[in-house]
Amino acid sequence: PDVAPVLSVNNIEVIYDRVILVLKGVSLTVPEGGIVALLGANGAGKTTTLKAISNLLGAERGDVTKGAIIFKGERVEALSPNELVRRGCIQVMEGRHCFGHLTIEENLLTGAYTRRDGGGAIRQDLEMVYSYFPRLRERRSSLAGYTSGGEQQMCAIGRALMSRPTMILLDEPSMGLAPQLVEEIFEIVKQLNVNEGVSFLLAEQNTNMALKYAKYGYILENGRVVLDGEASALRENEDVKEFYLGVG
Ligand code: ATP
């Protein structure tokens, strides 16, 4: 029996600046409690897909999004990014985006801005974040701008957790990090998935690592899904091996 999807993206198209067709009808599904990888080379359209879901594209600049996005059974294309966060879907942007002049703890607390519950619950969630990321606890009083790339990535994920999400859209967490640190972060993603029930849509160029942690994957090329399947099947696929896993 199939698990109900928490997120369905149906045939979305994105046009940048009114003319540049970048997504040419992308469809994908994330089952409740799933980790799904969105794979593809630089420029394939991974970030654009995540931003289309979060409604972070610039309509005012002439970016157009078509198609349907359904989160927890409801159409969400017209919602503001904040409203989507309130409903439980949050994006962690590529490049980590911590506030460099705030401490790690202050950064984490900014993640609770959409919440309407009080200080006690927020304090508790801060503890929850520190329990998954002990390094953040150690660095809680450091200015984020002076912490390492790995710590900033952890801080970005931790901040997202402070909104109590059911789903995180995680854009390229491995970017610029040493393999061991990437593994450490992916292990924590897995624990969050198992223990907290958070679903993940994980955009990654690091196919090898992503397919180790995701259960299912979609491969984007030039704005289209060219292949999708169980992670185990993708790992064995000859084209995936040759073009994405670097073993011909
Ligand atoms: P990356 O790993 O670099 O994030 P990606 O797979 O996420 O790659 P996107 O960033 O979604 O790819 O980019 C898809 C295509 O859209 C690329 O050709 C890119 O040049 C183009 N593009 C991205 N942002 C804009 C924009 N604001 N205006 C016009 N074109 C854009």
ipTM computed for the complex? 0.93
- Distance, in Å, from the CA atom of 22 to the CA atom of 107, rounded to the nearest integer, reads 33
pLDDT of residue 192: 97
pLDDT of residue 247: 56
- Distance, in Å, from the CA atom of 147 to the CA atom of 131, rounded to the nearest integer, reads 19
pLDDT of residue 248: 46
- Distance, in Å, from the CA atom of 188 to the CA atom of 152, rounded to the nearest integer, reads 14
pLDDT of residue 151: 94
**Nearest protein Cα to ligand 1, atom 16:** 22
pLDDT of residue 2: 67
Averages of pLDDT over runs of 10 residues in the chain (248 residues) are: 85 90 96 97 95 87 88 94 95 87 96 80 94 97 95 96 97 92 95 97 95 97 96 94 76
Which amino acid, residue 44?
A
Q: E strands, the chain, where?
A: 5-16, 20-31, 35-39, 64-71, 74-75, 89-92, 167-171, 199-204, 216-221, 224-230
Nearest to 90 by CA among 144, 47, 51: 51
The CA 223 to ligand 1 mean position distance, Å, reads 10
With a 6 Å cutoff on the Cβ, whether 124 touches ligand 1 is no
Nearest to 31 by CA among 170, 230, 225: 230
The CA 26 to ligand 1 mean position distance, Å, reads 15
